[in-house]
């Protein structure tokens, strides 16, 4: 596949390929470190628990986030995680008109103030009217 906004293959990485059973041309490095790891047993990947107490999650045989066909699923799960934690978290919330269907930010539809806040990770913070974040 050709590199694009949903696929990136870093064949020059010293660890490439870090998992077996995916053709080099189809190995997606976009999610190099699995963003679904934190979901434990609910990540949809092929993992196993190892160690003396079998409490260490081993993902060495998992190819799920590296398969191009799973991009939409991974992004959808990330959106679920973010939304479920936004109420009780300091994670920034972006206006709906600024979030692309694939989960990325559409800076063209953001005001200057929103762009500055997004870049600073301060989407919900106050601004001074000139687009500058105000730290309280």
**Distance between CA atoms of 97 and 118, rounded to whole angstroms?**
13
- What does the radius of gyration of the chain's CA atoms come to, in whole angstroms? 18
Which pairs count as long-range contacts for 41-47, CB under 8 Å and 24+ apart, including other chains? 44/73, 44/77
In the prediction, which pLDDT does 56 show? Answer: 87
The band of 123, judged by pLDDT with boundaries at 50, 70 and 90, is very low
The reported pTM is 0.56
Token pair for 24:
């080099």
Query: How many other CB atoms are found less than 10 A from the CB of residue 63?
Result: 19
134: tokens are: 């105000």
Sign of the CA dihedral running 119, 124, 130, 132:
negative
Q: Looking at per-residue confidence, does 88 or 29 come out higher?
A: 29
Q: Does the pLDDT at position 122 exceed 60?
A: no
């Amino acid at each position: 596949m050709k590199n694009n906004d949903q696929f990136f293959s870093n064949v020059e990485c010293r660890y490439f390929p870090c998992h077996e059973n995916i053709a080099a041309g189809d190995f997606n490095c976009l999610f190099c470190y699995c963003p679904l790891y934190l979901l434990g047993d609910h990540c949809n990947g092929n993992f196993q628990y190892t160690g003396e107490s079998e409490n260490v999650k081993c993902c060495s045989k998992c190819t799920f986030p590296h398969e191009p066909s799973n991009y939409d699923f991974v992004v959808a799960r990330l959106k679920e995680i973010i939304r479920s934690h936004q109420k009780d978290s300091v994670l920034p919330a972006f206006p709906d008109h600024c979030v692309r269907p694939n989960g990325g930010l559409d800076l063209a539809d953001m005001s200057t103030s929103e762009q500055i806040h997004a870049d600073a990770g301060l989407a919900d913070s106050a601004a001074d009217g000139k687009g500058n974040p105000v730290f309280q």
